[in-house]
Amino acid sequence: MEKPKIYIVEDDPIIAVTIETALIKQGYTIIGDAEDYDTALKEIQEINPNLILLDIQLEGDKDGIDLALVLDKMNVPYLYLTSQTDPETIVRVKKTKPLGYIVKPFTENGLRSNIELAWHNLSLTSKQYILVKSEGYMHKIDQSNIKYLQAFDN
């Protein structure tokens, strides 16, 4: 599986640049970033990144956990990258489905290894599809739903 195209949601511009620099150095592609919920959600819907690095504390009324709840509904994978470790935050985080939780301050190696493991685990659980043409239409079928196949002709 190829490396993910990453979108960063971080309200501190210096930390965002640090993350971006570290990831580019490791061969990752950064396809955008945002400082707040509204901008992030709009851009994520437009550019469809493979993976989101998500800070919890953001500019504005809504935080990263609010965004995570929407990402869960959209089936967009994300990792939290935050300094928030208080019990109340963790209770809220448990209502979401992140691939991981990276605590700031982070090291480049820690960041890379967490992303690699999360991306690897996601690839193991990703559904495999086949395309079948029938009556002029292409159908995308989840392989786990196939119980029996019969070929006609070739």
Q: What is the CATH number of the domain that holds 110?
A: 3.40.50.2300
- pTM score: 0.80
Residue 13 has pLDDT above 90, yes or no: yes
Residue of higher predicted confidence among 62 and 138: 62
Whether residue 77 is contained in a domain is answered as yes
Residue 106 lies in a domain: yes
pLDDT tens by residue, 24-81: 999 999 999 999 999 999 999 999 999 999 999 999 999 999 999 999 999 899 999 9
Beta strands, E only, the chain: 5-9, 29-34, 51-54, 78-82, 100-103, 129-134, 137-142
E strand or H helix at 15? helix 13-25
pLDDT (0 to 100) of residue 128: 67
Strand 5-9 vs strand 51-54: parallel, antiparallel, or unpaired? Answer: parallel
- Give the range of the structural domain holding residue 17, as residue numbers without chain letter: 5-125
Total domains present in the chain: 1
